[in-house]
Chain A
Amino acid sequence: MTNASNAAPAAAQGGRKFGDVILDLQNISLRFGGVKALTDISFNIREHEVRAIIGPNGAGKSSMLNVINGVYHPQEGKIMFRGQERKKMEPHMAAKQGIARTFQNIALFKGMSVLDNIMTGRNLRMKCNLFQQALWIGAARNEEIAHREKVEEIVDFLEIQHIRKTAVGALPYGLQKRVDLGRALAMEPEILLLDEPMAGMNVEEKQDMCRFILDISDQFGTTIVLIEHDMGVVMDISDRVVVLDYGKKIGDGTPDEVRNNQDVINAYLGSGH
């Protein structure tokens, strides 16, 4: 481990400013029975940065994401969210705290239209109670319209206007990935977790996705945590990178630092490089 985990970020790499540490993971260990998925991992995430978690298959990247999202509860270690220790919680509680995510194997509501899918992301922000909604009276209706406008903005942002009313199950893979991102964005999250957003995409789709990720970071200032094993993509768009291998952290720092880290080169790129 050559780079300190708290290495000061290459400040304002793309003109962006990083804020304080928003999420601090301290000595996280996660086991499934006898299998060690994560061993003593510590790193932090600063506001407004694009933070990548990379590593070969089976390195524990998705487990790490699921820990942040509240799906898995680590046996050891602490998670500090905005300086306070986070208690054991359910995934929907993470959503309430402003943590949104996308899925590696797209998990959209297949029978529903693109608009309805993205609207589900607004659910937490809707305040009308069940009875108002059941009666479909003024307040509930106005609220629905207001949120619908926000959703249209996201649809424009992601350039998916032409498929707004299409059932998601009928869309090609690349567009489904975009809808998945749209649903997470609709939550206006503070932290956006992207689980292999580029997996299975062709070059053109990958470029589009990179552009969206950078635009989200620039325009909304959302903190983005990104899992990817496409090394090239990650180096281009992230501010800081954590490298995992066999559930252990082997590198942490700016893309350049990580690229030149011998452990990373050996473990991730293979000793031949």
Chain B
Amino acid sequence: MGFFIETMLGGLMTGMLYSLVALGFVLIFKASGVFNFAQGAMVLVAALAMARFSEWSNAALGGDSLFLANVIGIIGAGIVMFAVAWTVERFVLRKLVNQEGATLLMVTLGIAYVLEGLGQTFFGSEIYSINVGMPKDPVIMFEGLIEGGVMINKEDFIAALLAAVLVGGLTVFFQKTSVGRALRAVADDHQAAQSVGIPLNKTWVIVWCVAGLVALVAGIIWGSKMGVQFSLVTVALRALPVVILGGLTSVPGAIVGGLIIGVGEKLSEVYLGPYVGGGIEIWFAYVMALIVLLFRPQGLFGEKIINRV
């Protein structure tokens, strides 16, 4: 029993981290109708900037205050993400008002390569570490309830908590505020949004900034977990089935999707793995996403696709 819960909790926490990356996809899709292939590259750039800026400022400060160095790192990375958002709007999206979704998708593929290239040119391509003081040691919890207790990785726990707060905040922001509504309006119809006085340019910068912020949080958490390196880009690939499962247009969907896939992966690996020779974790998420697509093309929580004929 204890082992089962332990596996499940582990899955939930990994799932939360998937959600975090998936959220970046959902945000941009909801607010501009663009499926942003560059999300993974944005996570990489954010993490690289954070790691390098804090490293440099740590050296400049003489290694006295890791906290201060991290704060400078986060601010620096934030500025970089803002610059990315502004540049993307100014030089890419502005030229593409009223274009097809497929065109915009291809453009984000291009943006991904540019970001990956520039990020490594400026910040270097070695493996860097992010140390924001996350506790690395596991703790035993619920000893009174279950025999032997449940071992939890503290780092995962804090990361999951952070992700949950961010996700909750963004949900409220999108559903309840006028800026959130403006973002959704722009996603739906450019022309109509302009007619009620919503400026497209400003809206796009806001969206990409928010997505950049989410990428930064994801980058810091994943980076501190497995080091900042090029392979961070592939984290985005793992978030793809999460987005498909939860629905491209749903913030809660990204969370629930992430949790389902996190738990599913871990449980299937532990309990089904031995029968098929292991390695399930790698493909399980995609199979789940495919099955969901068969029955609900819009994902579990996506907006129902309405077509009046």
Binding site for B on A (CB under 8 A): 69, 90-92, 95-96, 100-101, 103, 107-112, 116, 119-124, 126, 128, 130, 133-134, 136, 140, 143-144, 147, 167, 169-170, 183-184, 187
Min CB gap A129→B, angstroms: 9
What CA separation (Å) do A116 and B200 show in the bound complex?
A: 18
Q: B178–A108 contact, CB under 8 A?
A: no
What CA separation (Å) do A140 and B178 show in the bound complex?
A: 9
What string of 1s and 0s marks CB contacts (under 8 Å) between B174-186 and chain A? 0011111110110
Q: Which one of A92, A95, A128 has the highest number of Cβ atoms from chain B below 10 Å of its Cβ?
A: A92
Residues on the A chain within 8 Å of B181, using CB: 112, 116, 119-120, 123
Known: A116-B181, A144-B176, A170-B306. A124 touches B197 (CB 8 A): yes
Q: A110–B178 contact, CB under 8 A?
A: no
Interface flag for B249 (CB, 8 Å) = yes
Interface flag for B308 (CB, 8 Å) = yes
Q: A112–B173 contact, CB under 8 A?
A: no
Residues on the B chain within 8 Å of A126, using CB: 178
Minimal Cβ-Cβ distance residue in A for B197: A95
Min CB gap A124→B, angstroms: 4
Interface flag for B139 (CB, 8 Å) = no
Residues on the A chain within 8 Å of B177, using CB: 133-134, 136, 140, 144
List 5 contacting pairs A-B, 8 Å CB cutoff, sorted by A: A95-B197, A116-B181, A120-B181, A134-B169, A184-B196
Q: A109–B189 contact, CB under 8 A?
A: yes
Min CB gap B285→A, angstroms: 27
Interface flag for B143 (CB, 8 Å) = no
What CA separation (Å) do A91 and B192 show in the bound complex?
A: 10
What CA separation (Å) do A90 and B169 show in the bound complex?
A: 33
Tell me the interface secondary structure of chain B in the complex. Answer: helix
Known: A119-B181, A123-B182. A110 touches B188 (CB 8 A): yes
Known: A120-B182, A126-B178. A187 touches B169 (CB 8 A): no
Q: B193–A120 contact, CB under 8 A?
A: yes
Minimal Cβ-Cβ distance residue in B for A136: B172
Interface flag for B198 (CB, 8 Å) = yes
Q: A107–B195 contact, CB under 8 A?
A: yes
Could you tell me which residues of chain B, from 180 to 228, have a CB within 8 Å of some CB in chain A? Answer: 180-182, 184-185, 188-189, 191-200, 206
With an 8 Å Cβ cutoff, the count of chain B residues facing the other chain is 30
Residues on the A chain within 8 Å of B206, using CB: 130
Minimal Cβ-Cβ distance residue in A for B170: A134
Q: B306–A109 contact, CB under 8 A?
A: no
What CA separation (Å) do A96 and B189 show in the bound complex?
A: 19
Could you tell me which residues of chain B, from 16 to 49, have a CB within 8 Å of some CB in chain A? Answer: none
Q: B184–A187 contact, CB under 8 A?
A: no
Q: Which one of A95, A100, A122 has the highest number of Cβ atoms from chain B below 10 Å of its Cβ?
A: A95
What CA separation (Å) do A143 and B177 show in the bound complex?
A: 10
Minimal Cβ-Cβ distance residue in A for B249: A111
Minimal Cβ-Cβ distance residue in A for B184: A112
Q: B196–A130 contact, CB under 8 A?
A: no
Known: A136-B173, A144-B177, A144-B178. A110 touches B306 (CB 8 A): yes
Residues on the A chain within 8 Å of B193, using CB: 109, 120
Known: A130-B179, A144-B176, A144-B177. A107 touches B197 (CB 8 A): no
Which among A103, A111, A119, A147 is the interface contact of B192 at CB below 8 angstroms? A103
Given contacts A100-B196, A103-B192, A169-B306, 11 further A-B contacts (CB under 8 A): A91-B195, A92-B195, A103-B195, A110-B306, A112-B181, A116-B181, A120-B182, A120-B196, A130-B179, A136-B176, A136-B177
Q: A121–B188 contact, CB under 8 A?
A: no
Known: A134-B173, A144-B178. A187 touches B191 (CB 8 A): no
Q: B172–A123 contact, CB under 8 A?
A: no
Minimal Cβ-Cβ distance residue in A for B178: A126
Q: Which one of A90, A109, A128, A140 has the highest number of Cβ atoms from chain B below 10 Å of its Cβ?
A: A109
Q: A92–B194 contact, CB under 8 A?
A: yes
What CA separation (Å) do A91 and B206 show in the bound complex?
A: 20
Q: B197–A183 contact, CB under 8 A?
A: no
What CA separation (Å) do A95 and B196 show in the bound complex?
A: 6
Q: Which one of B180, B189, B192 has the highest number of Cβ atoms from chain A below 10 Å of its Cβ?
A: B192
Minimal Cβ-Cβ distance residue in A for B210: A134
Min CB gap A139→B, angstroms: 12
Min CB gap A249→B, angstroms: 25
Which among B172, B178, B180, B200 is the interface contact of A122 at CB below 8 angstroms? B178
What CA separation (Å) do A108 and B188 show in the bound complex?
A: 8
Residues on the B chain within 8 Å of A144, using CB: 176-178
Residues on the B chain within 8 Å of A134, using CB: 169, 173, 177, 179
Minimal Cβ-Cβ distance residue in B for A103: B192
